[in-house]
A and B are shown apart, each in its own frame.
Chain A
Amino acid sequence: MKRLAVLAAAAIAYVLAAWMVTPGFYDGFGPLQPYNWTCPPPQAGANTKPSSGHTDIKVIDGKSDANSAYTQDGQIVIGFLPDSFDAAGKSSISVDVAPLNTCPQPKGVQFVTNIYKITADAPLKKRANVTMLYSNLEPHPDAIYRADDPSGAWTVLERSQQGQPYTIFASTDKLGYFAAGYVASSPPPGAVTVGGGQTLPIIVAVLIVVVVLAGLPLAVMRRRRSAAGDQEDEEDEA
């Protein structure tokens, strides 16, 4: 009984600890958060629209400060080194990051992320580092692509170091439109997924029902068997 109480306390402690972090259970295999799609693939289920972001970078002694601009959902981050912008005559640089409302797919490239437009009110002087998250519902991207016009030509950016799972890095010398993808001569296969999403509450409900329906009879049978064993022992003793 004491052991049962300790186990119950540990279970409650776990539920409280896991409740304090999203998504509530994470074992390091997939991305921490589902991807927020502009054009969700059919297997995505519930979808939240991707967010945009704005950053004002200070200019001190004619040089722009080190800073980064990112969307609120963190799906794209662009980092700037000190003196990255041509900041002549400015007291700050305004940088905007916004997802494109449409999802054009250029010929020969398959994008697996949203397309983001990054603009600033001053031209870049130094390379900036772009970090993009991608989803586990699509194949892994090979590179980040950049374009001046989403319906124009897309160029592959120089890829930086490996990073966290479901994250891709590259550096760029120009702002514009950015998306991660891979060279594709044919449409990618549909990504098959297991569990999660909208099915998770059903899975947990089924587990609880199975535990109750199968566990109770097993426990009762066990108790009857041990009671019968005790009775036999008593008869043997008599």
Chain B
Amino acid sequence: MISAVRSRSALRAGLVASYILLVEWTRVLLAQDSHFTVAALLLGGAALAVVALGWPANGLGLGKSHLALRVIGGLALGAVLLLPAAARSGAVPLLPAGLAAAAIAVSVGEELAFRGALYAALDELGGAPVAVAGSTLIWTVAHALSHPPEFLGAVAAAGLLLALWRWACKDLVAPIVGHVVADLAL
């Protein structure tokens, strides 16, 4: 009985991880053509959000309790994510306004997918350590096509920070707010 439940959890986690990787890599490849960049980001964000459908809000960390504190936590996460770039502001690129909406869509979609559905599926499979480590690993692999190799350490560290917040506070609102703030500010 236990092994049947576990194998079903493993199958679900595997499917969620595979779907997320497929969407992320397809989105990145499509976005390389400047004519499709915004469309690829918007559709990619929506496709990532789809994976969170069917999960209870509390299971994803989207409960309404202490909402103000969660939002404040998100702003704090955003500040931490931006701190290294702010310290060297002379070398910081700007985000075109046309990409801002697309950046929001991808940020929300990624959080629902990685720290939402994937985290929940891995948590069900092996508990918090597996959820934190697994979601960080898949997050890093998913960014291998969009980021130069030297950035993957920082990508992994950001994924770990957001996953640990999800674990420590049982909250996804703050990672969403922090990710959106960071993407919009750059």
Contact B86 A26 (CB under 8 A): no
Given the interface pairs A165-B31, A165-B34, the reply to whether A18 lies near B185 with Cβ below 8 Å is no
A204 to B178, CA, bound (A): 12
Contact A29 B95 (CB under 8 A): yes
Contact A222 B83 (CB under 8 A): no
Please encode chain B, from 68 to 101, with 1 for each CB lying within 8 Å of some chain A CB and 0 for all others.
Answer: 1100110110111111111111111111110110
Given the interface pairs A22-B88, A23-B85, the reply to whether A4 lies near B168 with Cβ below 8 Å is yes
B9 beta carbon closer than 8 Å to chain A? no
Determine which of A162, A192, A208 lies in contact with B96 in the assembled complex, contact meaning CB atoms within 8 Å: A192
Contact B76 A211 (CB under 8 A): yes
Chain A residue at minimum C-beta to C-beta distance from B87: A24
Question: Which B residues are CB-close (under 8 A) to A34?
Answer: 91-94
Minimum C-beta distance from B164 to chain A (A) = 5
Please encode chain B, from 158 to 186, with 1 for each CB lying within 8 Å of some chain A CB and 0 for all others.
Answer: 10110011011100000000000111111
Contact B84 A10 (CB under 8 A): no
Question: Which A residues are CB-close (under 8 A) to B33?
Answer: 162
A69 to B66, CA, bound (A): 57
Contact A207 B157 (CB under 8 A): no
Contact A136 B95 (CB under 8 A): yes
A238 beta carbon closer than 8 Å to chain B? no
Docked complex: A38-93 residues within 8 A CB-CB of B: 43, 45-46, 48
Question: Which A residues are CB-close (under 8 A) to B167?
Answer: 3
In this complex, how many residues of chain A approach chain B with their Cβ under 8 Å: the count is: 60
Contact A33 B84 (CB under 8 A): no
Question: Which A residues are CB-close (under 8 A) to B147?
Answer: 26, 28
Task: Say which size band chain B's interface belongs to.
Answer: 35 or more
A11 beta carbon closer than 8 Å to chain B? yes
Please encode chain A, from 194 to 226, with 1 for each CB lying within 8 Å of some chain B CB and 0 for all others.
Answer: 111110110110011011001100110010000
B28 beta carbon closer than 8 Å to chain A? yes
A37 to B68, CA, bound (A): 43
B58 beta carbon closer than 8 Å to chain A? no
Contact B81 A25 (CB under 8 A): yes
A150 to B126, CA, bound (A): 65
Chain B residue at minimum C-beta to C-beta distance from A192: B97
Please encode chain B, from 33 to 64, with 1 for each CB lying within 8 Å of some chain A CB and 0 for all others.
Answer: 11001000100000000000000000000000
Max chain A Cβ within 10 angstroms of own Cβ: one of B28, B34, B73, B87: B34
Question: Which A residues are CB-close (under 8 A) to B88?
Answer: 22-24
Minimum C-beta distance from B44 to chain A (A) = 11
Contact A215 B186 (CB under 8 A): no
Which residues of B approach A to under 8 Å, CB–CB? 28, 31-34, 37, 41, 66, 68-69, 72-73, 75-76, 78-97, 99-100, 102-103, 106-107, 143, 146-148, 150-151, 153-154, 156-158, 160-161, 164-165, 167-169, 181-186
Which residues of A approach B to under 8 Å, CB–CB? 3-4, 6-7, 10-11, 13-34, 43, 45-46, 48, 136-137, 140, 162-165, 191-198, 200-201, 203-204, 207-208, 210-211, 214-215, 218-219, 222
26 A-B pairs with CB atoms under 8 Å apart are A3-B169, A7-B161, A11-B80, A14-B81, A14-B158, A23-B93, A24-B86, A24-B87, A24-B88, A24-B154, A26-B154, A27-B107, A27-B186, A34-B91, A46-B89, A165-B32, A194-B100, A195-B94, A196-B95, A200-B82, A201-B89, A203-B86, A204-B79, A207-B76, A211-B75, A219-B69
